[in-house]
């Protein structure tokens, strides 16, 4: 009965969302969001915050439709430079670099961008349908997860980081620890005291994620290319911008897995699109029959994280609308926009502002369609970036990197951080030290610390709370099993390499 009522309400929402002005706002939001996602450093949070005062001239529904479009548009836009230039526009696009950029180098940047657009579209639609039909039930279940469960989930996320590298498990653990230590610099979330600042005021605010990503990818890529004396991003044929049937068939499972993982985990407060994109990439890689191609140009490696980040974006609207809980910084700014227009999210939202909220939800379906229609024809234009001489691209990349690092907090310190991590990233790549565990642990560090301290406060300082709560214990057991399996797989791989080397010598 509830589903039938939701479907009927959605049809009324489409009637309002399809009016010319609302359609225009959905298109403008999707277009601005894509542009914002392409530019390193200027994420959806900044864009929504900047444009929020300018929406005062619009009707409430029109303003929220445009701001929501910017959010999920930016989630797609970050994949463009990740694939073509190995520079993620957003943290959630970092896993896309692993296979997207090798595909571009192989002359298949067009199909990779096409799969990214299709994956984002399908996952976005799945997320909106979940918002329509399952919001009350899923939101109710998600809110039952307390700090012990959230800590266990994030520990599980850390356990899978070893699968992101395929190299030394010890190096992965060291880099993960390094990322976690970096996340602790600045004001402690639990103590309210400064840590690891060494008396430097510039360190009191901690390290900015965007600066680190810009350094490890954008600046590192320029340094590597200068060493290799690269003349162009890709000298090979770009290829058709539309994926082949084989590409679609190989990506279908990854799109489904990424959509489910992104949607389910996107319901949890604090679980960002960056986290779900990492997890979906690792899960798809582990169960793929083409595992040996991951990191070298597997189309599934593009589909999985792109589906996950868009599904997470859509799922985040469920706790926002049903409970008034924003699960990410962009949604927190969007919550402020709703409050400005007198819309109070919560259990009574659908009763008190039903017409308004169903119009916004319907516009999200339309916005994802507009996003697909806008970007598939433009894929060819983006793909032509791979033919620009590197001598021209390198200064542009460096300029955008510096601007992106500076504009996050208007701080030259962040520019310095980007440069330092650019140099570090160059040597990490040269000596095969993985950067993915560093990034994931940096993202998860503050969330894990907060959940851990909250859990101990609930139990009066007793660690037993992590094993007496069934769901938390389940996640911890899965984490231990995955860690042991990772050790076994690394050992087996090392033995096979040694055996193959011995056979080669005998030959």
Q: What is the mean pLDDT of each run of 10 residues along the chain (507 residues)?
A: 69 86 89 76 68 75 87 79 77 84 84 87 84 63 71 74 58 84 79 75 79 80 73 55 83 90 77 80 85 85 90 81 71 76 72 80 86 75 63 77 78 88 88 79 79 85 85 85 70 55 44
d(CA 178, CA 169): 14
H-helix or E-strand containing 473? helix 470-506
d(CA 115, CA 376): 10
How is residue 52 annotated by DSSP? Answer: T
d(CA 257, CA 242): 22
- Burial of 317 by CB count in 10 Å (0-12 exposed, 13-18 middle, 19+ buried)? buried
Tell me if 349 sits within 8 A of 321, measured CB to CB: yes
d(CA 136, CA 347): 9
Conformation bin of residue 410: beta by default, left when phi > 0, alpha when psi is -120 to 50: left
Conformation bin of residue 496: beta by default, left when phi > 0, alpha when psi is -120 to 50: alpha
Nearby residues of 114 by Cβ (< 8 Å), 6 or more positions away: 241, 242, 243, 247, 376, 379
Nearby residues of 341 by Cβ (< 8 Å), 6 or more positions away: 60, 63, 64
C-alpha distance from residue 96 to each of 82, 106, 190 (Å): 6, 15, 33
How is residue 216 annotated by DSSP? Answer: I
The first and second tokens of residue 279, run together, are 């997890």
The first and second tokens of residue 43, run together, are 């994420």
Tell me if 307 sits within 8 A of 186, measured CB to CB: no
Please identify which residue in the block is written with the tokens 């593009």. 302
- Kindly report the three-state secondary structure assignment for every residue of 329-378: HHHHHHHHHHHHCCCCCCCCHHHHCHHHHHHHHHHHHHHHHHHHHHHHHH
Please identify which residue in the block is written with the tokens 């993915």. 436
C-alpha distance from residue 299 to each of 96, 100, 221 (Å): 10, 7, 22
pLDDT at 76: 77
C-alpha distance from residue 472 to each of 41, 286, 452, 460, 478 (Å): 35, 24, 12, 17, 10
What are the backbone angles phi and psi of residue 95, rounded to the nearest 5°? Answer: -60, -25
pLDDT at 385: 57
The first and second tokens of residue 364, run together, are 């999200």
Of the chain, the end-to-end C-alpha distance in Å amounts to 71
pLDDT at 502: 47
Please identify which residue in the block is written with the tokens 């984490």. 479
d(CA 208, CA 335): 23
């Amino acid at each position: 009965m509830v589903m039938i009522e939701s479907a009927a309400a959605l049809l009324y929402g489409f009637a309002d969302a399809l009016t010319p002005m609302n359609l225009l706002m959905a298109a403008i939001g999707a277009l601005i969001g894509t542009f914002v996602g392409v530019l390193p450093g200027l994420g959806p949070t900044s864009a929504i915050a900047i444009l929020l005062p300018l929406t005062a001239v619009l009707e409430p529904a029109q303003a929220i439709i445009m701001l929501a479009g910017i959010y999920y548009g930016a989630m797609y836009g970050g994949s463009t430079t990740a694939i073509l230039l190995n520079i993620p526009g957003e943290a959630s696009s970092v896993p896309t670099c692993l296979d997207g950029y090798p595909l571009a180098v192989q002359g298949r940047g067009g199909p990779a961008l096409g799969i990214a657009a299709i994956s984002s579209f399908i996952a976005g639609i799945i997320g909106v349908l979940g918002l329509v039909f399952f919001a009350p039930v899923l939101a109710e279940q998600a809110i039952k997860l307390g700090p012990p469960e959230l800590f266990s989930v994030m520990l599980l996320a850390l356990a899978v980081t070893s699968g992101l590298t395929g190299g030394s498990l010890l190096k992965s653990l060291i880099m993960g620890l390094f990322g976690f230590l970096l996340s602790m610099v600045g004001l402690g979330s639990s103590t309210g005291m400064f840590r690891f600042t060494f008396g430097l005021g510039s360190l009191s605010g901690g390290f900015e994620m965007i600066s680190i990503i810009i350094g490890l990818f954008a600046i590192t890529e320029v340094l590597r290319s200068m060493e290799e004396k690269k003349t162009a991003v890709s000298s090979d044929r770009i290829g058709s911008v539309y994926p082949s049937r084989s590409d679609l068939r190989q990506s279908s499972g990854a799109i489904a897995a990424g959509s489910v993982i992104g949607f389910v985990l996107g319901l949890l407060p604090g679980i960002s699109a960056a986290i779900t994109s990492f997890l979906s990439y690792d899960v798809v890689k582990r169960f793929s029959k083409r595992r040996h191609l991951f990191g070298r140009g597997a189309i599934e490696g593009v589909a999985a994280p792109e589906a996950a980040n868009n599904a997470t974006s859509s799922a985040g609207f469920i706790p926002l609308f049903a409970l008034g809980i924003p699960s990410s910084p962009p949604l927190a700014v969007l919550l402020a926009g709703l409050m400005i227009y007198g819309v109070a999210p919560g259990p009574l939202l659908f009763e008190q502002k039903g017409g308004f909220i169903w119009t916004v939800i319907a516009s999200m379906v339309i916005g994802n369609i507009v996003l697909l229609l806008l970007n598939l024809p433009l894929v060819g234009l983006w793909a032509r970036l791979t033919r620009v001489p590197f001598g021209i691209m390198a200064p542009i990349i460096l300029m955008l990197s510096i601007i992106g690092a500076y504009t996050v907090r208007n701080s030259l310190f962040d520019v310095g951080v980007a440069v330092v991590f650019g140099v570090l990233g160059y040597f990490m790549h040269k000596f095969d030290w993985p950067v993915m565990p560093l990034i994931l642990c940096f993202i998860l560090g503050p969330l894990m610390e907060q959940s851990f301290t909250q859990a101990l406060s609930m139990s009066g300082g007793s660690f037993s709370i992590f094993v007496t709560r069934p769901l938390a214990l389940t996640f911890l057991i899965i984490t231990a099993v995955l860690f042991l399996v990772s050790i076994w797989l690394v050992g087996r791989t090392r033995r096979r390499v040694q055996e193959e080397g011995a056979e080669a010598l005998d030959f």
